Amino acid sequence: MRTLEGDAARSYVSRLANRAEDLDKVSKRVRRIVGNVRRDGDGALRGYAQRWDGLAENQAVQVDPAEISSAWRQVSSEFRSALRQAAVNVRQFAAWQKPKAWTRTQNGISVGQIIRPLGSVGCYVPGGRYPLPSTLLMTVIPAQVAGVKRIFVVSPQPRLETLAAAALLGVRELYRVGGAQAIAALAYGTESIPRVDKIVGPGNVYVTAAKKLVAFDCSIDFLAGPTEIVIVSHRGKPLLIASDLVAQAEHDPHAVVVFITTSRQLAKDVATSVTSLARNNPIARRSLANKGVILLASSRYEAMDWANRLAPEHITVDAEDLPLLRNAGSVFVGDYSPTAAGDYASGPNHVLPTGGLARCRGGLTVSDFLKIITVQQLTKAGLRGIAPVLETMAKAEGLKAHAQSVRLRYANA
């Protein structure tokens, strides 16, 4: 990891704060894939799945529920136990998050909100380098807590561990497709895969570009790129700091890995520990060489200003710096809160915004699967009390029928 300070560090923060996922390089190809699946349905979907997702010529797109059930029996008892505990924690956190219905009444006017789940969602679970059963938990469980009736999972070449996670959660509609073609199928429907109301879950640049393309036709959670971590510490334990940097770096060779400190000695010690821990991890080494950096700040306040401008997916801070934090996908406080806890089992969701999107939203929550619908009911007296305001506003906007609709209700009452 290189170390920057002064103007070089400030310049780096400015550039990274304006980062965005470059989708132009794949947009033309993705547009063609999405268009073909939308037009030709399963014919195009199967062709792409056989080419890129490992689907055999005579293999069904949908995973047989019996295969899902069998996977649960095939994984180790230790893995089953870990899945159960992780699922309990994620489900409890989602339940705590769930917004409530309410009503308030004053002067003859009752207002409030009702909560309704989406009808159907599609959860994208990456295949890629490693199986990601944790992402199946993180996308399916909040949807279940929200009360979504139909939950579909798509995953290219789903591994045994992913199928076992599906079995634990009772998922029966799981499809062995991925990439832009899976997003198109969920957004527009094919003979095999029904159209859904919303698509959630992380993926590669093709998945991200496809989600962006279909976003006007099917709701999405957000666009997510390579993983990111920022750690801000001035007196932490070098080995623990380095372990989190390397852990996130091994996700993706394009991961953004940043350590910010005011301590020159701590910066040196962390750099040494990172080199040691990443020695036998080629993906982490590549990521750290590409986008790994240590920034020396002049003060604690400058360090947190930089962190807020970067608006990272994951951030680790000391407890006293938490009040200064404004922008992050998920926050980890202190030496004993590794990002791996959030990746798997502490409870908060690991589907998080990247590319600076944490400036305007946090990670996936149960609310992403809910509609908050406002309700209002006025009595005659309540309407009469507010009628002058309504009529004055309507006339100011030149909307005579609006004023009339109010006046007719109380004029002869």
Residue 352 lies in a domain: no
pLDDT in tens, 94-110: 999 999 999 999 999 99
- Report d(CA 262, CA 190) in Å as an integer: 55
- 357: which DSSP letter? G
Task: Give me the pLDDT at residue 107, please.
Answer: 95
* Residue 257 CB neighbours (<10 A): 27
Contact present, 329 and 313 (Cβ < 8 Å):
yes
Does the reported pTM lie above 0.85?
yes
Residue 172 lies in a domain: yes
Per-residue confidence at 130, pLDDT binned at 50, 70, 90? confident
Of 199, 220, 241, the position where a domain reaches its end is 220
Whether residue 29 is found in the same domain as residue 139: yes
Residue 158 lies in a domain: yes
pLDDT in tens, 172-230: 999 999 999 999 999 999 999 999 999 999 999 999 999 999 999 999 999 988 999 99
Token code pair at residue 195 = 């159209």
Whether residue 193 is found in the same domain as residue 90: yes
Structural domain that includes position 208: 24-98+120-220
pLDDT for 141 beyond 90:
yes
- Percent residues over pLDDT 70 in the chain: 100
Q: What is the CATH number of the domain that holds 205?
A: 3.40.50.1980
Whether residue 316 is found in the same domain as residue 335: yes
Residue 363 lies in a domain: no
Task: Give me the pLDDT at residue 138, please.
Answer: 98
Per-residue confidence at 322, pLDDT binned at 50, 70, 90? very high
- Domain count for the chain: 3
pLDDT in tens, 56-71: 999 999 999 999 999 9
pLDDT for 128 beyond 80:
no
Task: Give me the pLDDT at residue 48, please.
Answer: 96
Whether residue 258 is found in the same domain as residue 308: yes
Strand order in the sheet with 219-220: 174-175, 150-154, 120-124, 198-200, 219-220
Of 197, 220, 243, the position where a domain reaches its end is 220
**DSSP-based three-state secondary structure for 100:** coil
Task: Give me the pLDDT at residue 131, please.
Answer: 82
- Report d(CA 309, CA 378) in Å as an integer: 45
Whether residue 278 is found in the same domain as residue 232: yes
**DSSP-based three-state secondary structure for 9:** helix
Quickly count helices (H) and strands (E) in the chain.
Answer: 16, 14
Whether residue 277 is found in the same domain as residue 305: yes
Residue 365 lies in a domain: no
Token code pair at residue 8 = 């070089």
- List the Cα angle 170/176/179 in 5-degree steps: 120
- Report d(CA 196, CA 218) in Å as an integer: 7
Whether residue 193 is found in the same domain as residue 246: no
Whether residue 234 is found in the same domain as residue 320: yes
pLDDT in tens, 345-395: 999 999 999 999 999 999 999 999 999 999 999 999 999 999 999 999 999
Residue 393 lies in a domain: yes
Instruction: Name the residues annotated as catalytic.
Output: 313-314
- Report d(CA 35, CA 30) in Å as an integer: 8
Report the pLDDT averaged over residues 107-122: 98
Residue 104 lies in a domain: no
